[in-house]
A and B are shown apart, each in its own frame.
Chain A
Amino acid sequence: MLRLFFRRLLESIPTLLILIAVTFFMMRMAPGGPFDSEKRLAPEVEANLRAAYHLDEPLWQQFGRYLWNLAQGDFGPSFQYRDRTVTELIASGFPVSLQLGGLAMLIAVVAGVALGSLAALRQNKATDYTTMAAAMTGISVPNFVLAPLLVLVFAVYLGWLPAGGLGEASLLEGGWKNLVLPVFTLALTQVAYIARLTRGSMIEVLRSNYIRTARAQGLSTLTILFRHALKPALIPVVSYLGPATAGLITGSVVIEQIFGLPGLGRYFVTGALNRDYTLVLGIVVFYGALIILFNFLVDLIYGWLDPRSRE
């Protein structure tokens, strides 16, 4: 177990470095720069600006400087928000995104596993077909289609929920209303995927000999489900958590845009459109590190769930 831990830890470092390098050099090779604007800057001013941001140095030196600062937690200054650093921007946007994504992940896993298990227990019955048809719909209707439709129904026509924004109120005093639609639309696709995965693996587990033995001993369905079937049936779900995280992060870009939430996804889109190199690079690196960290944790959980995989 300890060996697995260190091996995976060592492997994540080159992955992160590759991500940083690819993003860094891609941005520097692209035409156009952060100081392109309607009014042309005087050449001296631009030269000074470039010098201030170290853009006049050779590329490899810039890359080295970036890595060095990054190792100390400094993502550099933002080009677009002149008086703020990227670290500050990430610190202000991440809590919003984390709240959104964390809640969506929680719902996805709980609802997905519950629905999938239910469908497996009622295999080839009406409940099964309904649940799986609903899951297919969840996979097929993109969140950016669902989100405006839900806003139209619940915010515009019915007026039950706000159409967007975070609001002033804290979560418990009505602030949660702002999160209902975004979290729901973000979670739905993942609920559907997890439900399908759980159903498939649960059906296989329920067919195995030891479950039949448990049944023969007269254990109740619920006991069998929770005590014996759930852990092995969760293995494919756990290995899907990595891609699920990536999916949630990607989805949050659109969801934050639609609902006007000041999270990292929104900073990313505005940053990309304004060629705010350091901001975009910072967010990619930050999210990349987060995904890699998550995959690392998933690998460890996987090793715990499935002893065969430890070798």
Chain B
Amino acid sequence: MTAPVGAPLSAIAVPEAPRSLWTDAWSTLRQNRAAMAAAVILGALVLLVLVGPSLSDHRYDKPNWDEIAVPPSLTGGHLFGTDSLGRDLFTRTLMGGRLSLLVGVVSTLVSMLIGIAWGATAGFLGGRADRIMMRIVDILYALPFMFLVILLMVLFGRNILLIFVAIGACNWLDMARIVRGQTLGLKQREFIEAARVSGVKPGRIILRHIVPNLLGVVVIYVTLTIPQVILVESFLSFLGLGVQEPQTSWGVMVSDGAMDMENAPWMLVFPAAFLAVTLFCFNYLGDGLRDALDPRDRSGR
């Protein structure tokens, strides 16, 4: 992504094959104002979530019985007010954001690894192996995954590691399908043939030659999977099956806030707004990346 932005025409005209996709993509993306705004907001949000809690005067997990459900105010010391246990809502919202974003990123990585491995293998091997592997994906598509994740959480306890793996393991199907499609195309290209002819083993071809060329597509779908995963986590937390006190996530806070919303609407509004804005930004950024990086999907632009 460090391509020379705004370089003079002569510099772009130089055939610099491996970079051209990313240079192109970057310039397309820069023109997409919604996507750029989303990227900036997300950057600010991540920074705020990482740094904010340590700058705050309040601890996210310490109840204060003298300041229960204080409304938000600019001067009162509680920017977002406090919750029903007197804990500072601003600090809690940021701590919740840490967890929601962490789940989003880690679970997406899990799903990415499974999806790439499965899709690239199926696409590269082709033939019968491909048919069987993709048939399995089709079958899994038909299963009500959310129900299985809920069951897992209920049965095996609300362990954060399990959340990562369970959510990740349920979201790799799209990635596998897309990666396979791309691999089928890549497989026909000369450089793969060259590698094969010079005796490189299939596993190595996949790792060294196929996977690096999948990056564009993977970047798009990672950006689009993160909001889905964040959504699943908050969904679980909303049902009371996610993370446990005093840890919190946006889903937990929305759930708590919804219970008190008649008397203290701010408890619902702030975490809900953070959650919605985050999902919004990831979706816009993902859409922008798709327009910039995916040559097939140019419709409507």
Q: A residues touching B (Cβ–Cβ < 8 Å)?
A: 11-12, 14-15, 18-19, 22-23, 26-27, 30-32, 123, 136-137, 139-142, 144-145, 148-149, 151-152, 156, 199-200, 203-204, 242-243, 246, 249-250, 253-254, 257-258, 268-269, 272-273, 275, 280, 283-284, 287-288, 291-292, 295
B142 touches A295 (CB 8 A): yes
Chain B contacts for A32, CB-based, 8 A? 155
Determine chain A's interface SS by DSSP, over half rule: helix
Chain B contacts for A268, CB-based, 8 A? 147, 150
Smallest CB–CB gap between B227 and chain A, Å?
7
A272 touches B150 (CB 8 A): yes
Size bracket of the B interface: 35 or more
A26 touches B151 (CB 8 A): yes
A9 to B156, CA, bound (A): 34
Chain A contacts for B154, CB-based, 8 A? 272-273, 275
Chain B contacts for A139, CB-based, 8 A? 279, 283
A139 to B239, CA, bound (A): 20
By beta carbon, the residue of chain A nearest B284 is A136
B262 touches A140 (CB 8 A): no
B146 touches A253 (CB 8 A): yes
Also in contact, A145 and B300, with CB within 8 A (given A14-B139, A268-B147) = no
Chain A contacts for B284, CB-based, 8 A? 136
Looking at the complex, which of B16-24, B60-68, B194-202, B268-276 is the stretch in contact with chain A? Answer: B268-276
Smallest CB–CB gap between A251 and chain B, Å?
9
A123 touches B300 (CB 8 A): yes
Interface string of B245-265 (1 = CB under 8 A from A): 000000100110110011001
Looking at the complex, which of B117-125, B182-190, B230-238 is the stretch in contact with chain A? Answer: B230-238
A137 touches B280 (CB 8 A): yes
Chain A contacts for B155, CB-based, 8 A? 26-27, 30-32
B191 at the A/B interface (Cβ < 8 Å)?
Answer: no
Smallest CB–CB gap between A182 and chain B, Å?
15
